[in-house]
Amino acid sequence: MPKGKLYEADLGQGVVYPKEDQEQWPREKQKRKQKNDPPQNQAAIDLLDGKPFWLWDRAHSLESYIVQNETVSPVCCFNHIVGLPRKNGIPMPLFDYEKKVIDILRNWNDDAGRDARPSRSKQKHLWIKKATGLGITELVIRYMAWLCYRDSSFAGAQMCIVTGPNIDLAKGLIARIKQICLAVDPDVSQFSNTTVVLNGCKVEAYPSHHLDAMRALERPVFILLDEADFFPPGEQKNARDVSERYIAKSDPYIVMVSTPNLPGGLFEQIEKEPEETCLYHRLYLPYTVGVGKIYTEHEIEKAKQSPSFEREYNLKYGYGLGNIFPYQLVDQCIGQYDLGLRAGTAKVLAVDPAYGSSKFAIAGFELVSGIVYVKDAREYERPSPSAMLDAILKMTDASSSSRYDKVLVDSAHPGLVTDLQQRGVTVEAVNFQKELSDMTMKAAQAVKEQKVRIHPAFTEMTYQLKAVQFNEKGHPDKKQMTFDLGDCFLMGVSRLLQANNYSIYVINRR
């Protein structure tokens, strides 16, 4: 490091850029400005034009620029020019887990070499399930700002930030962008509280319940869906549809960032999509990537005392949300055991039929020494009625030594009742509406008293149990999440613990 102050004009002599960064961002400024679209602040453009986002392979901190007992504001990269992110007022560098995010957005794969790139379909579409407090939203909006200022290729384009259905959330993210850029571009303060223009690119925030205006954009180049798993269920699909409709039009970056919320929501749906058809590069960032960096050990130990720790920090859907089956009690019911059926025991198969938007769920239960064991739990996406009928008949086949014994069918499904009766299955119609409260209480009590065992393979069932909440009627609230396997659980557990009246339940979907 040479002595004396370090100014921008001295960078070529005073700082040696890594070779790869010289190639990625040449010193020669790439002037692609539109003649009739002048920047709102030329000084800011001159300072930020051509600068790298961050120099990852250097000792890159403010302390590196203390020269002759005088602190000099570094101008080596975008983040040092605008000011580093802060936690509790303390400037923080960018960490290695943040590099993973930027490398994906830059279409870079450091592990396999620079030429080993993701498939074209995933280059600019990123799904991030992350722990709270890692600073990922801050990182992404800084990257958006850098894209605007590094040159003028995005002048005249639009960037979109989709938030939850609260205008204050939208205002808050735009305020954060303005705060980041204010020191170098004072003009950002003149814009409205949901909009800002950065070097000719309009950045606008949209609450998830007002996306109509986002459907008519001319050239969106970046779309951020922030905390997307917490959008109301009816707005999650719309937000995704509106974002992805531009892929063929303007090929924007699409970045979804969220802490996990409920099972069956937008994030879990994308997480379960086959790799060959999923549009997104999926990145998982649990709290462990930030220990000793953004988190201290003490902070994590304190956070672990919260019932929501597994969801907020360890990427588990639904933890800490439910109030029917506390997650600690459900965890105590989980354990390894043989999934085969025994002879001479009471066995039931609970079925939650659905042929539309929800899933068709089937779960098997066996009572052994006063304990209900979950022996099967599966869901089917939009199955045919004949396929489900065949599945039930196979599991109740009288010629099989491993079969479930009896069937109870909700009276609201007369077609299934008739089909099973015609094939020799004993069927008894049950009024699900009248029994829901009683079955819920019995199942909850069974979990509390540890009269239930759930195999660790049945993660979907445990997620649903841990997340479900009471509604105003004292029933499981199914407006916020799917509870198909949960319905099966209510039926199977409550009936097997009754005196000798064991049946298969087909649940009425309400």
Residue-wise pLDDT tens digits, 195-235:
999 999 999 999 999 898 899 899 999 999 999 999 988 89
Lowest mean pLDDT among 47-56, 61-70, 175-184: 61-70
Q: Which residue has the tokens 């790139």?
A: 117
Q: What confidence score (pLDDT) does residue 136 get?
A: 97
Nearest to 509 by CA among 481, 480, 478: 478
Each residue of 248-274: pLDDT tens digit?
999 999 999 999 998 888 999 999 899
| 36, pLDDT greater than 80 | no
How large is the average pLDDT for residues 127-146?
Answer: 97
Q: How far is CA 253 from the centre of its chain?
A: 17
Question: Residue 397, exposed/middle/buried by CB under 10 A (0-12, 13-18, 19+)?
Answer: middle
Give all strands of the β-sheet with 281-285 in edge-to-edge order: 195-198, 201-207, 158-163, 220-226, 253-258, 125-130, 281-285
How large is the average pLDDT for residues 445-455?
Answer: 95
CB 163 within 8 A of CB 207: yes
Three-state SS string across 146-194, please? HHHHCCCCCCCCEEEEEECCCHHHHHHHHHHHHHHHCCCCHHHHHCCCC
* pLDDT tier at 13, thresholds 50, 70, 90: very low
Q: Which residue has the tokens 């699909």?
A: 237
Rounded to 5°, the CA angle 20-129-77 comes to 30
Q: What confidence score (pLDDT) does residue 259 get?
A: 96
> How far apart, in whole angstroms, are the C-alpha atoms of residue 229 and residue 216?
24
More confident site: 318 or 281 = 281
> How far apart, in whole angstroms, are the C-alpha atoms of residue 226 and residue 237?
14
Coil, strand or helix at 32 = coil
| 147, pLDDT greater than 90 | yes
Q: What confidence score (pLDDT) does residue 399 get?
A: 79
Looking at mean pLDDT, say which of 94-108, 118-132, 284-298 comes out highest. 284-298
Q: What confidence score (pLDDT) does residue 122 get?
A: 61
Q: Name the token pair of 445.
A: 């009590």
Coil, strand or helix at 348 = strand
| 172, pLDDT greater than 80 | yes
Q: What confidence score (pLDDT) does residue 186 get?
A: 87
* pLDDT tier at 19, thresholds 50, 70, 90: very low
Q: What confidence score (pLDDT) does residue 59 get?
A: 54
Q: Domain residues of the chain, as ranges?
A: 86-303, 328-506
Lowest mean pLDDT among 14-23, 84-93, 221-230, 243-252: 14-23
How large is the average pLDDT for residues 375-398?
Answer: 90
* pLDDT tier at 154, thresholds 50, 70, 90: very high
Rounded to 5°, the CA angle 267-269-273 comes to 115
How large is the average pLDDT for residues 41-59?
Answer: 77
The domain covering 86-303 belongs, at the CATH homologous superfamily level, to P-loop containing nucleotide triphosphate hydrolases (3.40.50.300)
| Cβ neighbours of residue 474 closer than 8 Å, sequence gap 6 or more | 437, 440
Q: Name the token pair of 353.
A: 């039929």
Q: What confidence score (pLDDT) does residue 4 get?
A: 33
CB 443 within 8 A of CB 490: yes
For residues 334, 335, 341, 344, the Cα torsion angle rounded to the nearest 10 degrees is -90
Q: What confidence score (pLDDT) does residue 247 get?
A: 94
| Cβ neighbours of residue 176 closer than 8 Å, sequence gap 6 or more | 138, 141
| 49, pLDDT greater than 60 | yes
CB 315 within 8 A of CB 127: no
Q: Name the token pair of 104.
A: 């994906």
* pLDDT tier at 146, thresholds 50, 70, 90: very high
- Residues present in the chain in total: 510
Each residue of 128-137: pLDDT tens digit?
999 999 999 9
* pLDDT tier at 461, thresholds 50, 70, 90: very high
Q: What confidence score (pLDDT) does residue 418 get?
A: 87
Question: Residue 287, exposed/middle/buried by CB under 10 A (0-12, 13-18, 19+)?
Answer: buried
| 60, pLDDT greater than 70 | no
Residue 281: phi, psi to the nearest 5? -80, 120
How large is the average pLDDT for residues 231-243?
Answer: 91
| Cβ neighbours of residue 342 closer than 8 Å, sequence gap 6 or more | 366, 368
| 509, pLDDT greater than 70 | no
Question: Residue 383, exposed/middle/buried by CB under 10 A (0-12, 13-18, 19+)?
Answer: middle
Q: What confidence score (pLDDT) does residue 58 get?
A: 58
Amino acid residing at 119: S
More confident site: 265 or 32 = 265
8: number of Cβ within 10 Å: 13
* pLDDT tier at 359, thresholds 50, 70, 90: confident
275: number of Cβ within 10 Å: 8
**Architecture of the domain made up of 328-506:** 2-Layer Sandwich (3.30)
